[in-house]
């Protein structure tokens, strides 16, 4: 039976002035709406106690399994306000499916696509006044997540799990917007290995990326690029987003999904849209040498990162301890065409011919 999420209204919601001041300059991930969706799973009863309730802390026992073994997964998607005031989600069923895949890998329970969708849409509906206007590429970032909530210190899959969705009005992930970002290519750290959790959207992958990310900051970079751990012969992905390269002959290349890379919803959307823009697409192995030599010899003319939070953000350079490979300043024709194509769909500026958008309000 499908879950319903009865609403308990927040008795002390933010005032219209407080909401307006947040929406004027939200940054990324700093502020949260008045409500959250929550549901509980137990091995005995399955999913129960689903509700929308006032945003607030969880009560987690000090022996709660997630605090010790990190059994946790999450998603990221956005609600966009269109010019007529209506609110739409972008491909939410793709996030719902990926949550199921991540859950399977992390021994967490499966949540039906419909139950994911209801949680997200009910939350957006009750907090609709928190969805910013399109101006400044703002949106309501939605963060569904699931964690082991059993009070038990043995190492096994938890018998009690919490699913929740919170919402955060947000602007661009990178403060500079479309200003190209510099990327540190780490030789010291790996994000994932064969048979590991690289393809799951679990907190542990992001925790593992932090030290490399920090190494990148120390070299003046905003993100880190990981190379496959064992052979060091495959470019994989950035700490929190997928990577694309554009060649002088109009080919769009991204590392193939090898089981160690996150199957990004934006990644798949970019691959679909690129064909319409006259680019040939290739999902295949990219070696670090191909990347560096390609940039140096002018074969790779653009590069960008992509993800729900980052949308499509141009890359200015790749750096290692050995040197820097800077992309040409060529006006980023392919990157910007793809970026605009996806944003135009998300903000309803062009017809949604692929049925990607789901109207909520
Ligand atoms: C997203 O793009 O939604 C992510 O989860 C990545 C994170 C860097 C915010």
Domain locations in the chain as residue ranges: 16-170, 181-346
φ/ψ bin of 62: left (φ > 0), alpha (ψ from -120 to 50), beta (otherwise) = alpha
Predicted confidence at residue 178, as pLDDT, reads 87
Alpha helix locations (H) across the chain? Answer: 16-24, 66-69, 92-105, 113-126, 203-218, 265-276, 288-296, 333-346
**Ligand 1 within 6 A of CB of 309:** yes
CA-CA-CA-CA torsion sign (138, 24, 144, 127):
negative
Predicted confidence at residue 230, as pLDDT, reads 87
265 and 308 Cβ atoms separated by less than 8 Å: yes
Q: How far is the CA of 109 from the centre of ligand 1 (A)?
A: 22
73 and 103 Cβ atoms separated by less than 8 Å: yes
Q: Strands 235-238 and 357-359, how do they pair?
A: unpaired
Predicted confidence at residue 271, as pLDDT, reads 97
Read off φ and ψ for residue 146, nearest 5 degrees: -145, 135
258 and 239 Cβ atoms separated by less than 8 Å: no
E strand segments, 91-238: 139-148, 160-170, 181-185, 223-227, 235-238
Which residue among 310, 312, 313 is best mutated to probe the pocket of ligand 1, counting the most ligand atoms within 8 A of its Cβ? 310
**In this structure, which topology does domain 181-346 adopt according to CATH?**
D-amino Acid Aminotransferase; Chain A, domain 2 (3.20.10)
Q: Strands 35-42 and 160-170, how do they pair?
A: antiparallel
> What is d(CA 9, CA 112) in angstroms, rounded to the nearest whole number?
25
Compute the C-alpha angle 338/136/224, nearest 5°. 60
φ/ψ bin of 7: left (φ > 0), alpha (ψ from -120 to 50), beta (otherwise) = beta
**Residue nearest ligand 1's atom 8 by CA:** 240
- Tell me the CB-side half-sphere exposure of residue 25, using CA atoms within 13 A: 1
Q: Strands 300-307 and 72-74, how do they pair?
A: unpaired
Other CB atoms within a 10 A radius of the CB of residue 123 amount to: 29
**Ligand 1 within 6 A of CB of 307:** yes
Q: Strands 223-227 and 160-170, how do they pair?
A: unpaired
Residues of the chain short of pLDDT 50, as ranges, are none
Predicted confidence at residue 231, as pLDDT, reads 85
Predicted confidence at residue 209, as pLDDT, reads 96
> What is d(CA 268, CA 222) in angstroms, rounded to the nearest whole number?
23
Predicted confidence at residue 177, as pLDDT, reads 77
User: How far is C-alpha 168 from the geometric centre of its chain's CA atoms?
Assistant: 13
Q: Which residues pair with 42 in a beta bridge?
A: 46, 160
pLDDT averaged over every residue in the chain: 97
> What is d(CA 133, CA 87) in angstroms, rounded to the nearest whole number?
10
Q: Return the CATH number of 16-170, one of 3.20.20.120, 3.30.470.10, 3.50.50.60, 3.40.50.300.
A: 3.30.470.10
**Residue nearest ligand 1's atom 5 by CA:** 76
Predicted confidence at residue 146, as pLDDT, reads 98
Which residue among 307, 342, 346 is best mutated to probe the pocket of ligand 1, counting the most ligand atoms within 8 A of its Cβ? 307
234 and 192 Cβ atoms separated by less than 8 Å: no
Predicted confidence at residue 142, as pLDDT, reads 98
Q: Which residues pair with 306 in a beta bridge?
A: 242, 312
Which residue among 74, 241, 305 is best mutated to probe the pocket of ligand 1, counting the most ligand atoms within 8 A of its Cβ? 241
């Amino acid at each position: 039976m499908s879950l319903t999420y009865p609403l308990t209204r927040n008795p002390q919601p933010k005032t219209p002035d407080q909401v307006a001041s947040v929406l004027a300059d939200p940054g990324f991930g700093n502020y949260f709406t008045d409500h959250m969706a929550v549901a509980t799973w137990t091995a005995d009863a399955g999913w129960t106690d689903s509700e929308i309730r006032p945003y607030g802390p969880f009560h987690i026992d000090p022996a709660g399994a997630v605090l010790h073994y990190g059994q946790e997964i999450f998603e990221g998607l956005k609600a966009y306000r269109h010019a007529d005031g209506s609110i739409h989600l972008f491909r939410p069923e793709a996030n719902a499916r990926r949550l199921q895949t991540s859950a399977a890998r992390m021994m967490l329970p499966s949540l039906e696509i419909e139950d994911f969708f209801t949680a997200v849409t009910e939350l957006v509906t009750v907090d609709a006044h928190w969805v910013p206007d399109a101006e400044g590429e703002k949106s309501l970032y939605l963060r569904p997540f699931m964690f082991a909530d059993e009070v038990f210190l043995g190492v096994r899959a938890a018998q009690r799990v919490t699913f929740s969705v919170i919402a955060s009005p947000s602007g661009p992930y990178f403060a500079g917007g479309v200003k190209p970002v510099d990327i540190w290519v780490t030789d010291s750290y790996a994000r994932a290995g064969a048979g590991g959790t690289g393809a799951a959207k679990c907190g542990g992958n992001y925790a593992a990326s932090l030290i490399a990310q920090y190494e990148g900051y120390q070299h003046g970079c905003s993100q880190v690029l990981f190379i496959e751990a064992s052979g060091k012969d495959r470019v994989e992905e950035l700490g929190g987003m997928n990577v694309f390269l554009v060649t002088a002959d109009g080919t769009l290349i991204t590392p193939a999904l090898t089981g160690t890379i996150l199957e990004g919803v934006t990644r798949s959307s970019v691959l679909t849209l690129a064909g319409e823009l006259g680019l040939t697409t290739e999902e295949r192995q990219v070696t670090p040498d191909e990347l560096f030599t390609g940039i140096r010899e002018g074969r790779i003319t653009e590069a960008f990162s992509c993800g729900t939070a980052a949308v499509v953000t141009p890359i200015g350079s790749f750096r290692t301890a050995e040197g820097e490979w800077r992309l040409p300043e060529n006006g980023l024709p392919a990157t910007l065409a793809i970026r605009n194509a996806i944003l135009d769909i998300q903000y309803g500026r062009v017809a949604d011919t692929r049925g990607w958008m789901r109207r909520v309000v």
